[in-house]
Amino acid sequence: MSAAPVLRVEHLTMRFGGLAAVSDLSFNARKREITALIGPNGAGKTTLFNCITGFYKPTVGRLLLTHADGNTFLLERLPEFRIAKDARVARTFQNVRLFAGMTVLENLIVAQHNKLMAASGFTVLGLFGSRSYARSEAGAIDKARYWLDRVGLTDRADDPAGALPYGAQRRLEIARAMCTDPVLLCLDEPAAGLNNRESAELNGFLRATRDEHGISILLIEHDMGVVMEISDRIVVLDYGIKIADGVPSEVRNDPSVIAAYLGVSEEEALTPQAKQM
Amino acid sequence: MSDSPPAPRTDKPAGKQVDLLAALKEAALAAAVAFALFALLIGVRTEQGPTGALVIATRFGMLSAFVAAAFAGRFVFAVMRHRLAIPASLFAPPAVKKIAAALSPYLALVILIIALIVPVLFYRNHYVLDLAILIVTYIMLGFGLNIVVGLAGLLDLGYVAFYAVGAYSYALIAQDFGLSFWACLPLAGIFAAFAGLLLGFPVLRLRGDYLAIVTLGFGEIIRLVLLNWQNLTGGPNGISGIARPSFFGLPFNSSANGFAATFGLQYSPTHRVVFLYYLILALALVTNWVTLRLRRLPIGRAWEALREDEIACRALGINTTTTKLTAFAMGAMFGGFAGAFFATRQGFISPESFTFSESALVLAIVVLGGMGSQLGVALAATIMLGGFELFREFDQYRMLVFGAAMVAIVIYRPRGLVAARSPSVAMRERKAIPADIVRNARTESPA
């Protein structure tokens, strides 16, 4: 497995007024690896995701994304739709955000908007029913069919996304993100609300997706079972500060991580800054 | 008001005593509301006194009659409610439903055929032809607004502004440069689309009610500009003597090179009316065709996705700025076409034709039709404007009837006449999506 980083987070700080949700955070997410971000509630994980995907502009810091062909992108300088379109970072949301009133298939077609938009000659050719656009649309449906098959939703293709059960909605959101051909896939609590069987399936699916499509995954998760099982590396945040970074076995036994999760008595408590050393 | 859901009809008579008490309470409440409402409206009246000054006269008798009527009416209604619960099958017996279901795939075709033969059926009836032209004009406006409100989910209360821009563009270009209707029509559309972009930029970040307020203001700004820019628009006097449409260069008059003479017909002013009807019908059909087409293109799907969840759109790499602006521009363009038609049909335009009530009417058509449905818009425009005309004899009461009809529709069909959304693409079968899942311009995006 190559160890080159796909995403370098360098000295990232995000302040909201006086509150530093993320402060001076640096870590690398490596190519073709699953990097998990964990930490107690309010540790700044989702804030970090919002910085990476452009929904927030970081106060300080650099986010460097490198494609396989060597192209680099400074994500903090791009508007959010360019991050998805050009830098090819896809994301899902903590509270599922599907196009509820559109069918499952339509959700996956919308995800291929930019490719289809170009194929439709920015609407002009498509309006007059060009053959090349019809071909591209058929291709988009094929791709949607592939991902529906992968997440087991082929039977529900023509149902409205809002009518799916919760677990299926989560899977559909991941499939929709994959339809954008991402280099980096950011998943915000993909296993939340899933039962044991479903989260085991999710683990298998994420691993297979990483291996077969050569993508890197950044994952926020509270379910330690999922995290320890599928992550190649784990970054632990607490109060916006990185307190540990390593392979699962290292992180599991790190005293500062245990302290952050279980709490410590006042005497042995060190300030998080001191722990970071 | 405080209607509790009707109790099941298996109520035992034993519950009757309690029902009466509740009914009395309800009736008293209704009477109180009626009193508050009518105390000043009916109870007090200003009249000219003996010295010519206004004096206040009281009409307590009439007031108490109104309050008593409200009390009695509500009481009877409350007592009889269970027995009044009318089964839905009375409105739509199974047989009717069956026929409707069998016809519904052909409904659009039937409407189209009827629309095509209207001038044949009513050739001698100018009144009906004029009404038909009016209805189709509003159908076209509804189609245009439907792109903005129904598909993109952007609540626009100032749509009449684009109608006005189209009308004035046509009138001014035709008068000052002497261009023909067919040359002016695209220009009117372009100017209106440009106005759409102008409106679109400042409101990119707004949604729902806030967007509605700003667009409302925009509509008024355009009207006030038209009213006050005397040199260009003629101010409140408007523009008169606008070139009438010609049949590809043949004017509709009795001259030797007119339409009638060229085709060897006897001259009749009806020719022009029929031509105008087919002109607006063609424009509306083109609008419909383009809209249906756009819905199946990436841009149309992006509009609908924008309505459903803007943040998810951005996360998928959709440029929401251009998506919104194209929706505004496209909707405005069709409004501009309709405006140009309006100007050529009337021959005279003034800012008075472009008041807020026009925007409200077009929006009501879109909402009543079921946001996003083309067929619904066509039906709603026909019902609303046809209804207006039907009740014309009732003069001042027709607004009352109209209001009651709107209330009934809001209660019984809150999502419009054609509420279900039809998917733009399907793998196996196209299933209609129930309206309660689909978002609309009034529901905010999830937080």
Domain annotation for chain B: domains and CATH numbers? 13-85 (no CATH), 115-412 (1.10.3470)
> What does DSSP assign to residue A160?
B
Band of the pLDDT at B415, cuts 50, 70, 90? confident
How high is the ipTM of this complex? Answer: 0.86
Band of the pLDDT at B233, cuts 50, 70, 90? confident
Separation CA B28–CA B71 (nearest Å):
6
Q: Are B110 and B103 in contact (CB under 8 A)?
A: yes
What would the pLDDT profile of B107-141 be if each residue is shown by its tens digit?
778 888 888 887 777 777 788 888 889 999 999 99
**Closest approach of A263 to chain B, Cα-based (Å):** 32
Separation CA B418–CA B380 (nearest Å):
9
Separation CA A187–CA A97 (nearest Å):
12
CB contact under 8 A, B316 and A102: no
- Is any Cβ of chain A less than 8 angstroms from the Cβ of B318? yes
Instruction: Give burial (CB, 10 Å; 0-12/13-18/19+) of B41.
Output: exposed
pLDDT at B383 over 80: yes
Task: List chain B residues with CB under 8 Å of A98.
Answer: 308-309, 312
CB contact under 8 A, A109 and B309: no
Band of the pLDDT at A263, cuts 50, 70, 90? low
Q: Are A237 and A44 in contact (CB under 8 A)?
A: yes
- Quote the pLDDT of residue B339: 92
> What does DSSP assign to residue B247?
B
Q: Residue A113 is nearest to which of B302, B426, B438, comparing CB atoms? A: B302
- Is any Cβ of chain A less than 8 angstroms from the Cβ of B327? no
**Closest approach of B214 to chain A, Cα-based (Å):** 25
Any bridge partners for residue A218, and if so which?
A35, A186
Q: Are A237 and A54 in contact (CB under 8 A)?
A: no
Which residues in B209-285 belong to E strands, given as ranges?
239-240
Q: Are A150 and A171 in contact (CB under 8 A)?
A: no
Q: How many CB pairs under 8 A join A and B?
A: 139
The reported pTM is: 0.81
Q: Are strands A5-16 and A216-220 parallel, antiparallel or unpaired?
A: unpaired
Q: What percent of chain A has pLDDT over 70?
A: 91
- Is any Cβ of chain A less than 8 angstroms from the Cβ of B101? no
pLDDT at B6 over 50: no
- Quote the pLDDT of residue B287: 92
Band of the pLDDT at B85, cuts 50, 70, 90? low
% helix / strand / coil in chain B, to the nearest 5? 70, 5, 25
Q: Are A75 and A269 in contact (CB under 8 A)?
A: no
CB contact under 8 A, B316 and A113: yes
C-alpha triplet B359, B365, B366: angle, nearest 5°:
90
Separation CA A74–CA A65 (nearest Å):
6
* A96-179 topology per CATH: Rossmann fold (3.40.50)
**Closest approach of B303 to chain A, Cα-based (Å):** 10
The lowest-confidence range among A111-120, B207-216, B405-414 is B405-414
State mean pLDDT over A17-43: 85
The lowest-confidence range among A39-43, A153-157, B222-226 is A39-43
Q: Which of B303, B433, B442 to mutate to test the interface with A (most CBs of A within 10 A)?
A: B433
The lowest-confidence range among B8-22, B351-365, B367-381 is B8-22
Separation CA A255–CA B264 (nearest Å):
101
pLDDT at B329 over 90: yes
Domain A1-88+182-277 has CATH 3.40.50.300: yes
Mean pLDDT of chain B: 81
DSSP result, A70-129: S-EEEGGGS-HHHHHHTS-EEE--SS----TTSBHHHHHHHTTHHHHHHHTTTTHHHHTT
- Is any Cβ of chain A less than 8 angstroms from the Cβ of B286? no
Task: List chain B residues with CB under 8 Å of A132.
Answer: none
Q: Among candidates B177, B182, B145, which has minimal Cα distance to B163?
A: B145
**Gyration radius of chain A's alpha carbons:** 20
pLDDT at A17 over 80: yes
What would the pLDDT profile of A43-92 be if each residue is shown by its tens digit?
888 888 888 888 888 888 888 888 888 788 887 888 888 887 888 889 89
A residues 45..64 contacting B (CB < 8 A): 53-55
Look up tokens 């002497």; give the residue: B178
Band of the pLDDT at A264, cuts 50, 70, 90? low
Phi, psi of B299 (to 5 degrees): -65, -40
Task: List chain A residues with CB under 8 Å of B439.
Answer: 100-101
Any bridge partners for residue A64, and if so which?
A8, A74
Task: List chain B residues with CB under 8 Å of A175.
Answer: none
**Closest approach of B105 to chain A, Cα-based (Å):** 19
- Quote the pLDDT of residue B286: 92
**Closest approach of A17 to chain B, Cα-based (Å):** 21
Structure tokens at B398: 């027709």
What would the pLDDT profile of B274-316 be if each residue is shown by its tens digit?
888 888 999 999 999 999 888 888 899 999 999 888 889 988 9
Look up tokens 């209704």; give the residue: B30
Q: Among candidates B37, B25, B24, which has minimal Cα distance to B67?
A: B37
Phi, psi of A91 (to 5 degrees): -145, 160
- Is any Cβ of chain A less than 8 angstroms from the Cβ of B8? no
- Is any Cβ of chain B less than 8 angstroms from the Cβ of A183? no
- Quote the pLDDT of residue B14: 46
**Closest approach of B281 to chain A, Cα-based (Å):** 21
Q: Are A203 and A226 in contact (CB under 8 A)?
A: yes
Any bridge partners for residue A29, and if so which?
A7
Task: Count the residues in chain A.
Answer: 277
State mean pLDDT over B189-195: 92
State mean pLDDT over B244-263: 72
Structure tokens at B409: 């529709």
**Closest approach of A60 to chain B, Cα-based (Å):** 22
- Quote the pLDDT of residue B3: 45
Q: Are strands B44-48 and B54-58 parallel, antiparallel or unpaired?
A: antiparallel
Separation CA B415–CA B439 (nearest Å):
11
Number of Cβ within a 10 Å radius of residue A10: 15
A residues 143..182 contacting B (CB < 8 A): 145, 157-160, 162-163, 176-177, 180
Look up tokens 């806030």; give the residue: B210
Task: List chain B residues with CB under 8 Å of A55.
Answer: 311, 314-315
Q: Would you kindly state where each structural domain of chain A is located, as residue ranges? A: 1-88+182-277, 96-179
Q: Which residue in B has a C-alpha nearest to residue A163's C-alpha?
A: B437
- Quote the pLDDT of residue B447: 42
Band of the pLDDT at A1, cuts 50, 70, 90? very low
Q: What percent of chain B has pLDDT over 70?
A: 89
CB contact under 8 A, B299 and A114: no
Most confident segment among A171-180, A247-256, B89-98: A171-180
- Is any Cβ of chain B less than 8 angstroms from the Cβ of A134? no
**Closest approach of B151 to chain A, Cα-based (Å):** 11
Does A96-179 match A1-88+182-277 at the fold level? yes
